[in-house]
A and B are shown apart, each in its own frame.
Chain A
């Protein structure tokens, strides 16, 4: 079956010749018209549209956005804050970068509609420190919008006022975790908070109810309010509505970002047809489908089971290439859609070395407050690095598994899972490569093989 064509909703104007990131260009393309119409409607109606749309968060967890909003404590009398999570930092993910740099007003419009719907008077865009130009572009775009009465006091002449400020991070991955992000915005170390009691919807920024949404999610809100929640569900597949942006990197001919209706394209179509397949003379070996913490898939393995199609239960028997790229299908086969970052590895890659690279990342980024994560991520890094650069032993595989299995479920935030899933899945799928690595190492490395750690 040929791959479907791209459906560019969020990325409609990305890389469009002549499209600039200023207000005039955005308005020439119909910008802020959705917001103007939205402001004439009751806020509760806008929340309903988002609920009806089935929109799931695009930051990684895929939590329904409408549910997140409905959990907000609206009776406390405290101000409600909205934070835009622009800390894009899951390795393999690079979609928000293009929205921020090329279409910042789309994000601001989505943010303002979401703020109006939730009676938010103050929003912050938490942008990662490594996007210095992105921060300046957003600041300029907000200033333009403020001058045009689209942000700030008495928006569009109404009684509603809402301010947006840009807040820069400083290179810590953990700030992508929403409670860590809140701590960071409060001027502290980004140590995630324990839930309960610190659910952001109740006790978030300054202990006030807070909504934290990903950049892409808020852009979707604009389109949902534009077309209506019901119409939005027609895009994509049931329970996986709307479009998804896939960020493909690594060993394919045409890496890049591609937006498709969720669940309408398979991993095989994405990699072989859209991305041009493996590099010349190579075959695909493994793929991480949803950012570096998602569990790895091995080409050649098969997944069998029953799944719901409409009202019926249907058997499925998929190879890696047959898996539809949506939250539920990827969840069913034991991995996740996550943030949409697809990292591809071909047969030139040694999996021990690839894991050593990933482990070095998570060890560097652990915030350090929970012992299993701080020590576990460090030891997984030390073991895999030693295997590559020092002595490798046949029992290292079991040792690694022993460490990895003791982390998930024992930490305050999901970083514990994020750092152990790569090790667990690499061992489950490529166990032989780990057990035999001490032998593999004795052979001369192929001249064209790249160093990974």
Chain B
């Protein structure tokens, strides 16, 4: 495991939050996923050793929670809300537009490795639907025009790098 020193110190700190080490499983998975981008089999074994668990105890958590991923994704992560309130205001059209813009389906990485699109369940901002979470930032009232503008911005930022 090649984790950043900052991640390692955050890991040691967060374990102290709980009287039982196993409780730190989700926090550690989040920290490692933020650092490495995904949860590798090596990461599962590393966490298990760190928390004095069996690898299966960590693996079953990884497979249960939708936010943990076992393969790398694009540099940017676009999550479009699929659930009812957003669908009633055009969520499916918005998801289609992102797919058209980046030429990939939900769950896939675009050919240039730039984005992964996911069609996720409720993001709890139903009053301003359709909503889209790009990395950590929520975008509200996203229609097809706004989805295209957001895509253009992602493409421009990728080019500038």
The distance in angstroms between the C-alpha atoms of A171 and B29, with both chains bound, is 13
| A186 and B65 contacting across the interface, CB-CB below 8 Å | no
**How near does chain A come to B2, taking the closest CB pair, in angstroms?**
23
| A452 and B84 contacting across the interface, CB-CB below 8 Å | yes
A190 within 8 A of B: yes
A21 within 8 A of B: no
Contact of B122 among A188, A255, A361 (CB under 8 A): A361
Given contacts A184-B26, A189-B64, contact A88 B124 (CB under 8 A): yes
| Stretch of A29-37, A221-229, A242-250, A260-268 contacting B (4+ beta carbons < 8 Å) | A242-250
**How near does chain A come to B121, taking the closest CB pair, in angstroms?**
6
**Chain A contacts of B68 at CB under 8 A?**
170
**How near does chain B come to A5, taking the closest CB pair, in angstroms?**
20
B41 within 8 A of A: no
| A92 and B29 contacting across the interface, CB-CB below 8 Å | no
B70-126 contacts to A, CB under 8 A, are 79, 82-85, 87-90, 92-93, 120-126
| A247 and B127 contacting across the interface, CB-CB below 8 Å | yes
**Chain B contacts of A249 at CB under 8 A?**
85, 88, 126-127, 129
Name which residue of chain B comes closest to A184, CB basis.
B26
| A173 and B88 contacting across the interface, CB-CB below 8 Å | no
The distance in angstroms between the C-alpha atoms of A249 and B93, with both chains bound, is 18
| B136 and A132 contacting across the interface, CB-CB below 8 Å | yes
| A170 and B122 contacting across the interface, CB-CB below 8 Å | no
A106 within 8 A of B: no
**How near does chain A come to B141, taking the closest CB pair, in angstroms?**
10
A83-110 contacts to B, CB under 8 A, are 88-94, 96-97
Q: How large is the interface on A (under 10, 10 to 19, 20 to 34, 35 or more residues)?
A: 35 or more
**Chain A contacts of B129 at CB under 8 A?**
249, 255
Most B Cβ at <10 Å: residue of A186, A190, A250: A250
**Chain B contacts of A345 at CB under 8 A?**
88
**Chain B contacts of A343 at CB under 8 A?**
84-85, 88, 126
B23 within 8 A of A: yes
B43 within 8 A of A: no
| B66 and A172 contacting across the interface, CB-CB below 8 Å | yes
Given contacts A186-B20, A206-B19, contact A364 B84 (CB under 8 A): no
**Chain B contacts of A354 at CB under 8 A?**
84, 88
Contact of A170 among B17, B19, B30, B127 (CB under 8 A): B30
**Chain B contacts of A453 at CB under 8 A?**
87
B49 within 8 A of A: no
| Stretch of A50-58, A161-169, A394-402, A435-443 contacting B (4+ beta carbons < 8 Å) | A161-169
A128 within 8 A of B: yes
A340-396 contacts to B, CB under 8 A, are 341, 343, 345, 349, 354, 357-358, 360-361, 364-365, 367
**How near does chain A come to B133, taking the closest CB pair, in angstroms?**
7
Contact of B66 among A90, A96, A170, A349 (CB under 8 A): A170
Name which residue of chain B comes closest to A256, CB basis.
B127
Name which residue of chain A comes closest to B90, CB basis.
A450
Given contacts A130-B124, A349-B88, contact A167 B67 (CB under 8 A): no
**Chain A contacts of B120 at CB under 8 A?**
130, 171
Name which residue of chain A comes closest to B34, CB basis.
A132
**Chain B contacts of A16 at CB under 8 A?**
none
The distance in angstroms between the C-alpha atoms of A211 and B28, with both chains bound, is 25
Q: How large is the interface on B (under 10, 10 to 19, 20 to 34, 35 or more residues)?
A: 35 or more
Most B Cβ at <10 Å: residue of A206, A247, A249, A361: A249
**Chain A contacts of B93 at CB under 8 A?**
450-451
**Chain B contacts of A132 at CB under 8 A?**
136
Name which residue of chain A comes closest to B17, CB basis.
A165
| A91 and B85 contacting across the interface, CB-CB below 8 Å | yes
The distance in angstroms between the C-alpha atoms of A187 and B67, with both chains bound, is 15
**Chain B contacts of A357 at CB under 8 A?**
82-84, 87
Given contacts A93-B124, A187-B25, A450-B93, contact A171 B66 (CB under 8 A): yes
A234 within 8 A of B: no
The distance in angstroms between the C-alpha atoms of A365 and B122, with both chains bound, is 11
Name which residue of chain B comes closest to A170, CB basis.
B65
| B124 and A89 contacting across the interface, CB-CB below 8 Å | yes
Name which residue of chain B comes closest to A292, CB basis.
B84
Contact of B89 among A94, A189, A247, A250 (CB under 8 A): A250
A41 within 8 A of B: no
Most A Cβ at <10 Å: residue of B60, B92, B93: B92
**How near does chain A come to B147, taking the closest CB pair, in angstroms?**
15
A199 within 8 A of B: no
Chain A 57-99 near chain B by CB (<8 Å), digits 1 or 0: 0000000000000000000000000000000111111101100
**How near does chain A come to B153, taking the closest CB pair, in angstroms?**
19
7 A-B pairs with CB atoms under 8 Å apart are A131-B124, A169-B26, A170-B30, A173-B122, A187-B51, A188-B25, A250-B88
Q: Which 6 A-B pairs have the closest CB atoms?
A: A187-B25, A170-B65, A249-B126, A249-B85, A171-B66, A171-B67
Residue ranges of B at the interface with A (Cβ–Cβ < 8 Å): 17, 19-20, 22-27, 29-30, 51, 57, 60-61, 64-68, 79, 82-85, 87-90, 92-93, 120-129, 133, 136-138
Q: A92-B126, A129-B65, A173-B121 are in contact. List 12 more A-B contacts (CB 8 A).
A: A93-B126, A165-B17, A167-B26, A171-B65, A171-B121, A188-B25, A248-B127, A249-B127, A343-B126, A450-B88, A451-B92, A452-B84
Residue ranges of A at the interface with B (Cβ–Cβ < 8 Å): 88-94, 96-97, 128-133, 165, 167-173, 184-190, 206, 247-251, 255-257, 292, 341, 343, 345, 349, 354, 357-358, 360-361, 364-365, 367, 450-453
